[in-house]
Chain A
Amino acid sequence: MALVGESGCGKSLSAFAVLRLLPDAVTLAGGRILLDGRDLASLDLAAMAAVRGRDASIIFQEPTASLDPLMPVGEQIAEALTAHGVATPRVAMQRAREMLVSIGISDPDRRLTQYPFELSGGMCQRIMIAIALICGPRLLIADEPTTALDVTIQAQILHLIKELVTARSTAVLLITHDMGVVADMADRVVVMYAGRVAETASAEAIFKAPLHPYTALLLASIPHAALAPKSRLATIEGTVPRPSSHGTGCRFASRCPLVEDKCRRETPPLVNHGDGHEAACWRSRDVGMLGVPA
């Protein structure tokens, strides 16, 4: 499952809310967060700490900033096990070594004793993945996991995530702004705009027949192989409204080429158009007119 949208649309906050990693000034104002039927929103902090890393874990964009610079990476991987009391330090280190082998890191014994500064960005992200998956969580949240990496290293990391989660049947919530990564990885896609879900569908349906004008324009604004060189790309006029100015109505109304009076008055609900394809737009039927790429 991929969660996409532009800077500030709330995709990272939504993911942080799942693990209750919200900044102090932000609170979960309502709703439920179900992980395997259990409502995480109702758990206290101690119960939440037990969930993190064991049932659901997260990897971030900057692997070097997410690791402890003063601890060998082997200990950091083992800590995920010992912190949840599922293994003794000795067993945990053994499991950490096995984990490194399974993610294809050569010379694991030396790697275990190295510090993050001795490793490249791609290698640090592998270590993060090892930490996140060593307890066998049901859910892995990956927040822009390859945005800081070069394209050939990105391909390695995406391939690794795909292999590992398939082997362990872990669910992945992949947060990204890169539609190429979405096309590569996702079964289903959620498109967010200004704090709300604009559209959700299978990856094929989102790219082929989007039902929200924001999704359609977002896709048409990306240069791709089928376009003539130097041809005009679709653009979205205006800017994302500030959260303080959210009134009633559709939040995309001020920038939408299909806008009509109703859009400014009433907030469109997420409507199911079949096969799990849902869109929050009063004019979904007309989105095809927007000249979406083939």
Chain B
Amino acid sequence: MSQPVLSVENAAVHFRSRGGFLRKSGPALKAVDGVTLSVQAGETLGLVGESGCGKSTLANAILGLVPLVGGTITVAGREVRSDDAESLRAIRGDAQMVFQDPALSLNPRLSVGAAIGEPLQVRGLAKGAALRDRVAALLTAVGLEADHASRFPHAFSGGQRQRIVIARALALQPRLVICDEPVSALDVSVRAQILNLLVDLQRDTGMSYLFVSHDLSVVRHIADRVAVMYLGRIVEIATMAVLFGKPRHPYTQALLLAAPEPDPVRQRAKARRILEGELPSAANLPPGCAFNTRCPIATDICRKDAPLLVARKDGAMVACHHAED
């Protein structure tokens, strides 16, 4: 296999609560705790999990926005070092990010053209008429009009603003775009437009996506492979078809059962097994498997030893002592 566009090896990100007068700093919060994954050229890897599982922290770490305490992250063969401005500048030419709320990702005082052109200008890649042409081409590529460049973000709807953010992310022709909940703030009919656009852009440019989302139906639609995170660790990675067809990890199974399907016949025929309890705090992880406090099949070994991510015959990787083969 050729070199992956993104390779994450045993990455860990810990946060420490700040101590104060008469108060020691608390235990490290293990937001990302030994994650290994890779994304190939032209591939979409879905990253799913509930709030606080560390999926956004991992996305931020890939762009060097938060420092690693262990492991390595490589983008297009170059190691991400959050303390080295020169390497970060190079990385960000290859990897760009699209965030959840387009209203917060755009400077309200910057015209759309200036926002999209800024990465090109900063790197001295284009100026003057060439820059204007490039911005116009980017706007057209995301389904907007070339003359929108002179307008400001407030003049656009939420869906159009997300298109602008995508155009800006594409300006440097990155090989990887990290989409962090890119459609979660949008209404369903607009969400469909943005998903169609992302699929089209990938087909045309061959870039890869790391698609972070809590919405399983969206991930099933857009991802080639899916990684499921729970409390800072990957519990299962498999191709879309295997993960949705034969989920092995009890957490993946619970997540699939809990997500309501927009079809009353299928939804009401689903097995009812509701996951009890809530996510434990990442600052105070249970010993052994982090899922053991909510797991319906946990035994003594799960409370002692953390299971490793082990490959199965069909290529799925599962971290569970009791998962079927």
Give me the interface of A with B, judged by CB distance under 8 Å.
Answer: 6-7, 120, 122-123, 150-156, 158-159, 177-184, 186, 203-204, 207, 217-219, 221-227, 229-236, 239
Contact = CB atoms under 8 A, between A and B. Distances in A.
B220 A180 contact: no
A21 B220 CA distance: 39
B219 to A, nearest CB: 9
B278 A203 contact: no
B118 interface: no
Given A223-B195, A239-B157, A6 B188 contact: yes
B263 A120 contact: no
A183 B264 contact: yes
A66 to B, nearest CB: 19
B274 A218 contact: no
A183 B188 contact: no
A234 B192 contact: yes
A183 B50 CA distance: 22
A222 B196 contact: no
Nearest to A153: B278
A155 B274 contact: yes
B192 A152 contact: no
A152 B50 contact: yes
Contacts of B196: 232-233, 235
26 contacts: A6-B187, A150-B214, A151-B50, A151-B214, A151-B216, A151-B255, A151-B258, A155-B274, A156-B275, A179-B262, A180-B259, A183-B263, A183-B267, A203-B264, A207-B263, A207-B265, A218-B188, A221-B188, A221-B191, A222-B188, A223-B221, A230-B199, A232-B199, A233-B192, A233-B196, A239-B157
B18 interface: no
B2 interface: no
Contact of A152 (B195, B199, B254): B254
Interface of B: 50-51, 157, 187-189, 191-193, 195-196, 199, 214, 216-218, 220-224, 240, 244, 254-255, 257-268, 272, 274-276, 278-279
B264 A207 contact: yes
A122 B258 CA distance: 15
A235 B192 contact: yes
Contact of A207 (B50, B258, B262): B262
Contacts of B254: 152
Contacts of A235: 189, 192-193, 196
Nearest to B191: A221
A221 B217 CA distance: 12
A154 B260 CA distance: 9
Contacts of A207: 262-265
Nearest to B218: A223
A225 B261 contact: yes
A177 B188 contact: yes
Given A150-B50, A235-B189, A235-B196, A181 B264 contact: no
